[in-house]
């Protein structure tokens, strides 16, 4: 690379951290981190690929933000508090403007959650970014996908579907004033639900983050918990911005099958619902269904099975497909 690997790291990524638990950070062969008794380490990794996880023309700062956001979302789903990350960066070329934008988006979000970048790897190749994130939970206080029980209520945070609507806005170059830019922002800058995940530790029986589409991910939660679910489509939180740009049926399709929400999907027994409402929740949550004993996952609209046109992210990746 023209700029040189060492210069890239020194100029854009080797930053001082306030975290006292980073004993040795960037610059040596490995990082040395202080662990503490009574806590459990929680580790996750997510890779984003240009043209697959974000459109080719995405702004570098948005890519940097997203690379960390998708990882923080995994820690949120575990009820963990983030602490450290490593970054593997594969770049086609060393473009200083791009690097500076990327680093600004990455560190903007890192600062919000006091995450220190403690190491990584930098290579030449197609644009692929991997972040590994580590954080901790107290004792055995983590959330898992596997604890849902028949009769539990099913909740989702935020408004699923807005991010997929935002991607459609980008791909189809929909002009729609404020609603369009709001949805675009929801796609480009997903807010990880770290605080909510922390708050749910003593409430939720199961939790996961929604990244591949609400219905697909609900099936994963149900499989892990050996149960099923009934999802009430009419209970889904409505988005004014979505309603402004899309037909009602498409709004539901995006909410159930669109990806990139990075909201939390969780379950809890009915007797805990009142206590949940007394919490000062950091995020709006909506009850969208119940967990059932039989293994099927059924979306219902006015009591009738609701038909998904096609599942998952691909449905919305094809600009000629919907709407």
Interaction residues for ligand ADP, span 74-93 (CB under 6 A): 87, 89
Strand partners, 287: 155
User: Which residue of 2, 16, 20, 28 would you call a contact of ligand ADP, by CB under 6 A?
Assistant: 28
Residues within the interface to Mg ion (CB under 5 A) = 29
Closer CB to ligand ADP, 72 or 208, in the complex:
72
117 binds ligand ADP (CB under 6 A): yes
User: Which residue of 58, 71, 122, 132 would you call a contact of ligand ADP, by CB under 6 A?
Assistant: 122
At residue 134's C-alpha, the angle toward residues 129 and 138, to 5°, is 155
Q: How many CB atoms lie within 10 A of CB 5?
A: 15
Stretch that binds ligand ADP, among 54-62, 98-106, 115-123, 163-171 (CB under 6 A): 115-123
Alpha-carbon gap, residue 228 to 225, rounded angstroms: 8
Closer CB to ligand ADP, 117 or 163, in the complex:
117
121 near 45, Cβ under 8 Å? no
26 binds ligand ADP (CB under 6 A): yes
- Write down the least CB distance from residue 125 to Mg ion, Å: 19
9 binds ligand ADP (CB under 6 A): yes
121 binds ligand ADP (CB under 6 A): yes
Closer CB to ligand ADP, 130 or 267, in the complex:
130
204 near 272, Cβ under 8 Å? no
Run of H or E residues at 290: strand 285-292
- Write down the least CB distance from residue 188 to ligand ADP, Å: 22
Run of H or E residues at 98: helix 96-112
How is 109-152 classified by DSSP, letter by letter?
Answer: HHHHTTPEEEEEEEEESSSEEEEEEEEEEETT----GGG--TT-
Q: Which residues bind ligand ADP (CB under 6 A)?
A: 9, 13, 26-29, 87, 89, 117, 119-122
């Amino acid at each position: 690379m023209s700029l040189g690997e060492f210069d890239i790291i020194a100029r854009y990524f080797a930053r001082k951290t306030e975290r006292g638990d980073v004993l040795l950070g960037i610059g040596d062969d490995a990082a040395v981190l202080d662990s503490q008794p009574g806590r459990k380490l929680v580790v996750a990794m997510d890779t984003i690929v240009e043209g697959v996880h974000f459109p080719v023309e995405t702004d570098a700062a948005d890519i940097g933000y997203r690379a960390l956001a998708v990882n923080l979302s995994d820690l949120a789903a575990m009820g963990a508090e983030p602490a450290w990350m490593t970054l593997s960066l594969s770049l086609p070329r060393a473009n200083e403007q791009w690097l500076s934008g990327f680093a600004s988006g990455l560190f903007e979000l890192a600062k919000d959650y006091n995450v220190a970048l403690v190491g990584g790897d930098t290579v030449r190749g197609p644009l692929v970014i991997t972040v590994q994130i580590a954080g901790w939970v107290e004792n055995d206080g983590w959330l898992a996908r596997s604890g849902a029980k028949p009769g539990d209520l099913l909740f989702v945070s935020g408004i699923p579907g807005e991010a997929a609507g935002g991607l459609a806005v980008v791909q189809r170059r929909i002009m729609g004033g404020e609603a369009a830019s709001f949805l675009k922002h929801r796609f480009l800058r997903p807010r990880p639900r770290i605080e909510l995940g922390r708050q749910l530790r003593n409430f939720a029986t199961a939790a996961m983050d929604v990244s591949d589409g609400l219905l697909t991910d609900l099936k994963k939660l149900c499989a892990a918990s050996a149960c099923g679910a009934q999802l009430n489509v009419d209970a889904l939180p409505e988005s004014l911005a979505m309603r402004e740009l899309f037909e009602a049926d498409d709004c539901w399709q995006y909410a159930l099958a669109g990806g990139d929400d990075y909201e939390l999907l969780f379950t809890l027994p009915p007797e805990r619902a009142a206590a949940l409402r007394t919490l000062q929740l950091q995020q709006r949550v909506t009850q969208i269904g119940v967990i059932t004993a039989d293994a099927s996952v059924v979306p219902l609209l006015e009591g009738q099975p609701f038909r998904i046109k096609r599942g998952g992210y691909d449905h919305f990746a094809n600009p000629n497909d919907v709407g």
